[in-house]
Protein backbone atom coordinates (compact mmCIF):
# COMPACT_ATOMS: atom_id res chain seq x y z
CA UNK A 1 0.00 0.00 0.00
CA UNK A 2 2.93 2.37 -0.48
CA UNK A 3 0.89 4.43 -2.89
CA UNK A 4 -1.79 5.04 -0.22
CA UNK A 5 -0.20 4.78 3.22
CA UNK A 6 2.48 6.98 4.76
CA UNK A 7 3.19 4.26 7.35
CA UNK A 8 3.74 1.63 4.65
CA UNK A 9 5.92 4.03 2.68
CA UNK A 10 8.07 4.69 5.77
CA UNK A 11 8.36 0.94 6.41
CA UNK A 12 9.43 0.18 2.84
CA UNK A 13 11.81 3.13 2.85
CA UNK A 14 13.43 1.74 6.00
CA UNK A 15 13.86 -1.66 4.39
CA UNK A 16 15.46 -0.08 1.31
CA UNK A 17 17.86 1.94 3.48
CA UNK A 18 18.74 -1.08 5.61
CA UNK A 19 19.45 -3.16 2.51
CA UNK A 20 21.72 -0.45 1.11
CA UNK A 21 23.50 -0.03 4.46
CA UNK A 22 24.55 -3.69 4.41
CA UNK A 23 25.57 -3.57 0.75
CA UNK A 24 22.58 -5.21 -0.90
CA UNK A 25 20.63 -4.27 -3.98
CA UNK A 26 16.96 -4.11 -3.09
CA UNK A 27 14.27 -5.72 -5.27
CA UNK A 28 10.59 -4.93 -4.73
CA UNK A 29 8.14 -7.66 -5.67
CA UNK A 30 4.46 -7.43 -6.46
CA UNK A 31 4.46 -4.02 -8.16
CA UNK A 32 1.09 -3.70 -9.88
CA UNK A 33 0.53 0.04 -10.43
CA UNK A 34 2.53 2.96 -11.79
CA UNK A 35 2.07 4.81 -8.50
CA UNK A 36 3.84 2.00 -6.65
CA UNK A 37 6.69 1.95 -9.16
CA UNK A 38 7.18 5.71 -8.90
CA UNK A 39 7.14 5.61 -5.11
CA UNK A 40 9.78 2.85 -5.14
CA UNK A 41 11.99 4.97 -7.40
CA UNK A 42 11.60 7.87 -4.96
CA UNK A 43 12.61 5.54 -2.11
CA UNK A 44 15.76 4.46 -3.95
CA UNK A 45 14.71 0.89 -4.62
CA UNK A 46 17.16 -0.68 -7.09
CA UNK A 47 14.84 -3.02 -9.00
CA UNK A 48 11.24 -4.14 -9.07
CA UNK A 49 9.08 -6.83 -10.57
CA UNK A 50 5.40 -7.50 -10.85
CA UNK A 51 2.38 -7.30 -13.10
CA UNK A 52 3.03 -3.61 -13.77
CA UNK A 53 6.08 -4.64 -15.79
CA UNK A 54 4.93 -7.97 -17.21
CA UNK A 55 2.50 -10.77 -16.59
CA UNK A 56 3.85 -14.27 -16.03
CA UNK A 57 5.07 -15.96 -19.21
CA UNK A 58 5.83 -19.46 -20.36
CA UNK A 59 9.55 -20.25 -20.76
CA UNK A 60 9.17 -20.62 -24.53
CA UNK A 61 7.75 -17.09 -24.79
CA UNK A 62 10.71 -15.76 -22.82
CA UNK A 63 13.12 -17.64 -25.09
CA UNK A 64 11.50 -15.98 -28.14
CA UNK A 65 11.70 -12.55 -26.52
CA UNK A 66 15.38 -12.97 -25.61
CA UNK A 67 16.11 -14.20 -29.14
CA UNK A 68 14.40 -11.17 -30.65
CA UNK A 69 16.36 -8.83 -28.38
CA UNK A 70 19.64 -10.53 -29.27
CA UNK A 71 18.79 -10.38 -32.99
CA UNK A 72 18.02 -6.66 -32.73
CA UNK A 73 21.25 -5.99 -30.84
CA UNK A 74 23.35 -7.88 -33.41
CA UNK A 75 21.64 -6.06 -36.29
CA UNK A 76 22.19 -2.67 -34.62
CA UNK A 77 25.86 -3.44 -33.97
CA UNK A 78 26.34 -4.32 -37.66
CA UNK A 79 25.06 -0.96 -38.93
pLDDT tens digit sequence for 4-43: 889 999 999 999 999 999 999 999 999 999 999 999 999 9
Does residue 73 carry a pLDDT above 70? yes
**Residue 26 has what pLDDT?**
98
- Residue 79 pLDDT grade (very low, low, confident, very high; cuts 50, 70, 90): low
Residues with Cβ within 8 Å of 29's Cβ and at least 6 positions away in sequence, in order, are 48, 49, 50
Identify which has the larger pLDDT, 13 or 73. 13
Which residue in 61, 8, 52 sits closest to 32, CA to CA?
52
Amino acid sequence: SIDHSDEDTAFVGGIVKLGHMIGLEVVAEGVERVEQALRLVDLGCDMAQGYFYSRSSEPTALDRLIGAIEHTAVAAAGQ
